[in-house]
């Protein structure tokens, strides 16, 4: 049986959430779920916990849009196939063969796994790629990177239609250029572009680190709040490296493009998303313009 004090704690938690529930009513929240958070220790539990958090956001009146990566899952299949891979400035060099693997993993494995985990709770999630309804139009970033695309346009129509129906879009970031050529788009960058295009209130990155560190090697150096200008300086001075670069650049662009707040949170912590959205406790790093 629940003791009175435990019940009081639960009531306090719900009451604390009330102003946030009211404030975020009908607002769009873009959540990027990193492949590393997905692959992290928690496994199926982490996926199920993420899925129920997303459903909770939707149930209290927010409009979540999920954008996902799949780096470790792509690396695993490339490894099994004996295909080598190389990164330049955090972007995977993508030849035709690698592009096939990227598409197989994102559209055949990661996206349907996320959709299925959410749909345990009801007929809620719809999986789509950037090629669907021309959600993400792309162009090649640099011939040296192969089929890596940058987003030139976001067509929000399909997202608006799904959100109007109170469905949860789950986006795999494969885009297509004007000729229909598929491109591998960095999921961090795509999430930022989508957040700005739909006028999201929040853009949240769930990754495998507690937040943005002032000193990469020091877990105690997590910055709780930082502005876009400060972030640009941290990229220039080498504080931010590897997979954090596209995240931070996307946060800067998104908050300058009208998104009120961007957050980098530890997706390995169960319910980090709920802590950020519904409590007074600051978790991870918050980025504002």
Q: Which residue is nearest to ligand ADP (CB)?
A: 243
Minimum CB separation from ligand ADP for residue 207, in Å? 3
Find all residues with CB under 8 Å of 125, minimum gap 6, and list them.
Answer: 66, 114, 115, 118, 119, 167, 168, 169, 170
Q: x/- string (CB under 6 A) for ligand ADP, residues 173-192? A: ---------------x----
- Which residue among the candidates 69, 146, 202, 247 is catalytic per the annotation? 247
In the region spanning residues 119 to 158, those forming contacts with ligand ADP, defined by CB under 6 A, are: none
Q: Which does 149 bind (CB under 5 to 8 A by kind): ligand ADP, Mg ion, none?
A: none
243 is an interface residue for Mg ion by CB under 5 A: yes
Q: Which two tokens stand for residue 209?
A: 């680190």
Note whether 102 and 93 are within 8 A (CB).
no
First to last CA, the chain: 48
The minimum distance between CB 40 and ligand ADP, in angstroms, equals 9
- Which range binds Mg ion by CB under 5 A, 6-14, 212-220, 243-251, 271-279? 243-251
Q: What length is written for the chain?
A: 289
Three-class SS of residue 270?
coil
Taking the complex as a whole, how short is the minimal distance between the CB of residue 182 and ligand ADP, in angstroms?
21
Q: How far is the CB of 244 from Mg ion (least distance, A)?
A: 8
Please confirm, yes or no, whether 202 is among the known catalytic residues.
no
Element (DSSP H or E) covering residue 103: helix 96-105
Sheet holding 168-172, edge to edge: 125-129, 168-172, 63-68, 28-33, 202-207, 261-266, 285-288, 225-227
Question: 53, 113, 188, 266: which one is catalytic?
Answer: 188
For the chain, give me the number of helices (H) and strands (E)?
11, 14
Q: Which does 244 bind (CB under 5 to 8 A by kind): ligand ADP, Mg ion, none?
A: ligand ADP
Active-site residue list: 32, 35, 71, 188, 247
Binding site for ligand ADP (CB under 6 A): 34-37, 69, 71, 188, 207-209, 212-213, 216, 239-244
């Amino acid at each position: 049986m629940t003791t009175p004090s435990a019940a009081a704690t639960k009531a306090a938690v719900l009451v604390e959430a009330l102003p946030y529930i009211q404030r975020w009513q009908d607002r769009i929240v873009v959540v990027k779920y990193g492949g590393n958070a997905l692959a992290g220790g928690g496994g199926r539990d982490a996926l199920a916990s993420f899925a129920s958090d997303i459903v909770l956001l939707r149930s209290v009146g927010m409009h979540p849009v999920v954008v996902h990566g799949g780096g470790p899952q792509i690396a695993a299949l490339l490894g099994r196939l004996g295909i080598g891979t190389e990164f330049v400035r955090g972007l995977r060099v993508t030849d035709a063969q690698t592009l096939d693997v990227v598409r197989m993993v994102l559209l055949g494995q990661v996206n349907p796994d996320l959709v299925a985990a959410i749909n345990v709770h009801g007929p809620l999630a719809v999986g789509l790629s950037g090629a669907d309804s021309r959600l993400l139009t792309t162009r090649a970033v640099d011939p040296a990177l192969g089929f890596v695309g940058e987003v030139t346009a976001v067509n929000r129509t399909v997202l608006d239609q799904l959100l109007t129906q109170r469905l949860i879009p789950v986006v795999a970031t494969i885009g297509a250029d004007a000729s229909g050529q598929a491109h591998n788009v960095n999921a961090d960058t795509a999430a930022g572009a989508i957040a700005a295009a739909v006028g999201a209130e929040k853009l949240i990155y769930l990754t495998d680190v507690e937040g943005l560190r002032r000193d990469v090697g020091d877990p105690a150096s997590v910055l709780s709040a930082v502005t876009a200008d400060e972030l640009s300086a941290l990229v220039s001075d080498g504080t931010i490296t590897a997979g954090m670069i596209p995240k931070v650049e996307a946060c800067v662009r998104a908050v300058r493009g009208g998104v009120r707040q961007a957050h980098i949170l530890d997706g390995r912590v169960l319910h980090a998303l709920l802590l950020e959205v519904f409590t007074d406790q600051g978790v991870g790093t918050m980025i504002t313009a």
